[in-house]
A and B are shown apart, each in its own frame.
Chain A
Amino acid sequence: MTALFRLVENARAVPVVMAALFTATLCGAQEKPGAAAPAPPPAATQPAEYAGSQACQMCHEDISNAFQKNPHQAVETGNKNGWATRACESCHGPGSKHADSASAADIRNPAKLKPADTDKICLTCHLNQPTHVGRINSGHARNQVSCTACHSIHAHGPNGLVARKLPDINKLCAGCHADVWASFQKPYKHRLPEGAMSCVDCHNPHGSFLPRSIQTVSANEPGCFKCHGDKVGPFTYEHPPVRLEGCIACHQPHGSANPRMLTRSEVRFVCLECHSNLPTPTPGPGGTPTLGTVPPAIHDLRSPRFQNCNLCHQKVHGSYVSRDFLK
Chain B
Amino acid sequence: MRYLLALILIVPALAQQPDQPAKPDAQPAAAPAKTEEKTESPAPPATEDWLTGSVDFGYRWVGDAGNFQAYRSVVNLGEGPKLTGIDFTILDPKKRLFDRLDARGSGWGGDPYTTAHVDARKQGVYDFNFDYRNIAYFNNLPSYSNPLAPAGFDEQAFDTHRRNTSFNLDLRPGKKIIPYLAFDRNSGYGHGIDTWVQDSNDEFAVPTLLRDSTNNYRGGVRMEWCNCVHVTLEVGGTTFKDDDLSSFSGSNYGDRTTSLLGQTLVLNSLQQAYGIRGSSIYTKALATARPFSWLNLYGQFLYSEPKVDVHYTDSATGNFSQINSLLFYSAQMNLGTGAANQPHTSGNAGLELRPFRRLRIVESWMTDRYHDAASPATAEQILLTPKTLGPNLVTPLNYTQVVNYNQQQIDVLFDLSSKLTLRGGYRYVWGDATVLAGQLSQSGALASGQLSRNVGLAGLTFRPAQKLSLNLDYEGASSDRIYFRTSLNDYYKLRARARYQVAASLMLQANFQVLNNRNPAAAIQYNFGSRDNSLAVYWTPAGGKHITMMGEYDRSSLSSNIDYLGLFFSPGVSVYRENAHTATSTIDFALPGYAGLTPKFTAGGSLFISTGTRPSRYYQPLMRLSIPLQKHVYWNTEWKYYGYGEQFYLYEGFRAQVFMTGLRLTK
Contacts and interface: CB of A to CB of B under 8 A. Distances in A.
A194 B113 contact: yes
20 contacts: A3-B345, A27-B355, A66-B44, A116-B360, A137-B364, A154-B41, A177-B511, A182-B534, A187-B74, A219-B238, A219-B304, A229-B214, A234-B374, A241-B483, A272-B564, A295-B569, A303-B148, A308-B145, A323-B442, A323-B443
Nearest to B395: A323
Interface stretch (B402-410, B590-598, B630-638): B402-410
B406 to A, nearest CB: 5
B519 interface: yes
Contacts of B356: 27
B147 interface: yes
A141 B350 CA distance: 14
Interface in A1-47: 3-4, 6-7, 10-13, 16-17, 20-21, 23-24, 26-28, 31-36, 38
B522 interface: yes
B312 A320 contact: yes
B644 A308 contact: no
Contacts of B79: none
Contact of A230 (B188, B294, B418, B576): B188
Contacts of A35: 293
Interface in B167-196: 174-176, 184, 186-188, 194-196
A273 B564 contact: yes
B408 A311 contact: no
B36 A152 contact: yes
Contact of B295 (A28, A186, A219, A241): A28
Contacts of B292: 24, 28, 31, 33-34
B345, B443, B513 pick with most chain A CB within 10 angstroms? B345
Interface in B346-368: 346-357, 360-368
A257 interface: yes
Given A143-B461, A238-B372, A294-B565, A3 B303 contact: yes
Interface residues of A, number: 171
Interface in A104-153: 111-112, 114-116, 123-125, 127-130, 132-133, 136-137, 139, 141-144, 148-153
Interface string A225-257: 011111011111110110111000100000001
Interface stretch (B1-9, B60-68, B607-615): B607-615
Given A21-B351, A116-B421, A175-B29, A233 B576 contact: no
A150 B146 CA distance: 48
Contact of A269 (B240, B568, B576): B576
Interface residues of B, number: 234
B205 to A, nearest CB: 9
Contacts of B47: none
Interface in B555-579: 556, 562-569, 574, 576, 578
Contacts of A4: 301
B438 A176 contact: no
Contacts of A174: 28
A48 interface: no
Interface in A245-302: 245, 249, 257-260, 263-265, 267, 269, 272-279, 283-298, 300-302
Contacts of A275: 438
B265 to A, nearest CB: 13
Given A80-B176, A219-B236, A273-B574, A24 B433 contact: no
A229 B186 contact: yes
Contacts of B459: 142-143
A219 B148 contact: no
A294 B571 CA distance: 12
Contact of B552 (A24, A139, A182, A188): A182
A171 B34 CA distance: 15
Contacts of A116: 360, 413, 415, 421
B282 interface: yes
Interface string B259-275: 00000000000001010
Contacts of A193: 24-25, 606
B351 A17 contact: yes
Given A155-B41, A286-B521, A10 B376 contact: no
B411 A142 contact: yes
B71 to A, nearest CB: 11
A264 B576 contact: yes
